[in-house]
Amino acid sequence: MKTIKLFLAGALLIAAMPAGAQNICAHRGFWKCKEAHKTQNSIASLRLAQENEFWGSEFDVHLTADDVIVVNHDPSLNGIPIHTSTYAKLLETKLKNGESIPTLDQYIEQGTKSDCVMVLEIKPQDTEERTLQLTSACMEALKRHDMLDPKRVMFISFSYAACEWIARELPEFTNQYLSGDKDPETVHASGINGIDYHYIAFYRHPDWVERAHKLGMSVNVWTVDCKKVMRYVRDLGVDAITTNKPLVAREIMSKSK
Ligand code: MG
What is residue 11's predicted lDDT score, i.e. its pLDDT?
A: 46
E strand intervals along the chain: 23-26, 56-63, 69-71, 76-77, 80-81, 117-122, 153-157, 175-177, 194-198, 218-222, 240-243
Q: State the distance from the centre of ligand 1 to the C-alpha of 252, rounded, in angstroms.
A: 22
Q: State the distance from the centre of ligand 1 to the C-alpha of 245, rounded, in angstroms.
A: 15
Q: What is the CA radius of gyration of the chain?
A: 18
Q: Following CA atoms 219, 43, 173, 121 in sequence, which dihedral angle do they give, to the nearest 10 degrees?
A: 60
What is residue 180's predicted lDDT score, i.e. its pLDDT?
A: 97
Q: State the distance from the centre of ligand 1 to the C-alpha of 205, rounded, in angstroms.
A: 22
CA distances from 256 to 42, 173, 218, 233, 238 (A): 33, 28, 19, 11, 13
Q: Name residues of the chain where pLDDT drops below 70.
A: 1-14, 19-21, 256-257
Q: Tell me, what amino acid is at 114?
A: S
Q: State the distance from the centre of ligand 1 to the C-alpha of 1, rounded, in angstroms.
A: 38
Q: Tell me, what amino acid is at 24?
A: I
What is residue 17's predicted lDDT score, i.e. its pLDDT?
A: 80
Domain segments of the chain: what residues? Answer: 5-253
Alpha carbons within 13 A on the beta-carbon side of 145? 20
CA torsion through residues 246, 25, 130, 139, sign: positive
Q: State the distance from the centre of ligand 1 to the C-alpha of 161, rounded, in angstroms.
A: 17
What is residue 218's predicted lDDT score, i.e. its pLDDT?
A: 97
Q: State the distance from the centre of ligand 1 to the C-alpha of 233, rounded, in angstroms.
A: 19
Q: Is 170 exposed, middle or buried (0-12, 13-18, 19+ CB in 10 A)?
A: middle
> For 33-92, what is each residue's pLDDT tens digit?
999 999 999 999 999 999 999 999 999 999 999 999 999 999 999 999 999 999 999 999
Q: State the distance from the centre of ligand 1 to the C-alpha of 2, rounded, in angstroms.
A: 35
Q: State the distance from the centre of ligand 1 to the C-alpha of 174, rounded, in angstroms.
A: 16
Q: State the distance from the centre of ligand 1 to the C-alpha of 73, rounded, in angstroms.
A: 6
Q: State the distance from the centre of ligand 1 to the C-alpha of 133, rounded, in angstroms.
A: 19
What is residue 22's predicted lDDT score, i.e. its pLDDT?
A: 78
Contact 71, 101 (CB under 8 A): yes
Residue 225, C-beta contacts closer than 8 angstroms, at least 6 positions apart: 243, 244, 245, 248
Residue 154 DSSP symbol: E
Q: State the distance from the centre of ligand 1 to the C-alpha of 125, rounded, in angstroms.
A: 14
What's the CA gap between 26 and 55, in Å, rounded? 8
What's the CA gap between 91 and 81, in Å, rounded? 13
Q: State the distance from the centre of ligand 1 to the C-alpha of 60, rounded, in angstroms.
A: 5
What is residue 6's predicted lDDT score, i.e. its pLDDT?
A: 46
Q: State the distance from the centre of ligand 1 to the C-alpha of 63, rounded, in angstroms.
A: 15
Residue 102 DSSP symbol: P
When the candidates are 3.60.21.10, 3.20.20.190, 3.50.50.60, 3.20.20.70, the CATH number that belongs to 5-253 is: 3.20.20.190
What is residue 107's predicted lDDT score, i.e. its pLDDT?
A: 98
Q: State the distance from the centre of ligand 1 to the C-alpha of 148, rounded, in angstroms.
A: 20
What is residue 95's predicted lDDT score, i.e. its pLDDT?
A: 97
Query: Is residue 161 helix, strand or coil?
Result: helix
Q: State the distance from the centre of ligand 1 to the C-alpha of 61, rounded, in angstroms.
A: 9
What is residue 254's predicted lDDT score, i.e. its pLDDT?
A: 84
Q: State the distance from the centre of ligand 1 to the C-alpha of 155, rounded, in angstroms.
A: 11
Query: Is residue 98 helix, strand or coil?
Result: coil
Query: Is residue 242 helix, strand or coil?
Result: strand
What is residue 20's predicted lDDT score, i.e. its pLDDT?
A: 60
What is residue 4's predicted lDDT score, i.e. its pLDDT?
A: 45
Exposure pattern of 54-71 as b/e (b: 16+ CB <10 Å)? bbbbbbbbbbbeeebbbb
Q: State the distance from the centre of ligand 1 to the C-alpha of 242, rounded, in angstroms.
A: 9
